[in-house]
Structure 1
Amino acid sequence: MPGEKKRIVFICDASGTMINRLSLLHEELLQHVAALPEDHSYNILFFGDRGDFRALDRWKMVAPGAESRIATKQFLERITPWGTTNPIPAIEHAIKFRPDVIHFFSDGEFNSQAEYASVIEAFAAAHRDHATIVNTYLFESLDLDAETTMKKIAKDNKGTLKSISPAGFRSP
């Protein structure tokens, strides 16, 4: 189907503030991956601090299927929260895959290592270069700047924002 968004990248927060939220995130990722049609491709990147990120595959997109679902599950089982929050290196790496859609999962509390404006600009570069849609998924946060930033990222990149509570996903 022309115009269909087939290249999907999930960028996920694995910083220390996500310790009680990671299992919910893993479940949601597995559901997303299981629902992908065979003609799509995906990748998953988790970020922490010091510019460190972990990728399902650092070099290429992954085709959906039984084997990749197993590899994804094993990858997710190895992810544990680490450090503070700096999503910019993961965003910059994700852009190299030229995704049609990025799903960005975070509590949005990345101002300790990256300014909110810098994160917004990193996503803007993806949208400028390839018109990438960015959907944001905000885990409950008391930081109003985090919520404002996640909303702006979604709006500026033709995406949507969904809020995530301990009970699961809900629209704002």
Structure 2
Amino acid sequence: MRLKSAIAAIGMLLVSVAHPWAADLFTTEQPPAPPPDERGIWAAIAYSAPDEKYGFFWGADKRQEAMDIALKHCERDKGKSCVVVSVFRNHRHWDDDDKTGFPYNHCGALATGKEGGKRVTPWGANSAPTRREAEDLALKACEGSGSRCSIREWVCT
């Protein structure tokens, strides 16, 4: 009987070495808890740098929804390389803390430079608790290239 148990144990060891996933079949650990719901009113900015097209969306219940719709607006504006460049959210209630670590920033801004032409136009996007702070951060990011920049669009949720 001991020999059979030893052979079975060696077989399980060999299977778990050959196929690391096989070891998971014999564990008693609980699967990780799902992430908490991300509360808030979500917004996103999408931008296509080569053709300077952009899309905004605000008022979504979920982060992914805001991102998807911002991308869709950018692509509808004929953006050929649209990517989400900023995602932010507002409180539904001032004491709302969903423990995800994702900050509550009420406003977002997109700044673009004056270059154009053969070079890709410098740009910057950011979010912050206020419109002024979001605009300042977007301008700072854009002007890091040495170009003069201006706010192209802003939104607050």
TM-score exceeds 0.5: no
Q: Which structure is higher in helix share?
A: 1
Higher gyration radius (CA)? 2
TM normalised by structure 2 equals 0.31
Higher relative contact order (CA 8 A, sep 6+): 1
Q: Which structure is higher in strand share?
A: 2
TM normalised by structure 1 equals 0.29
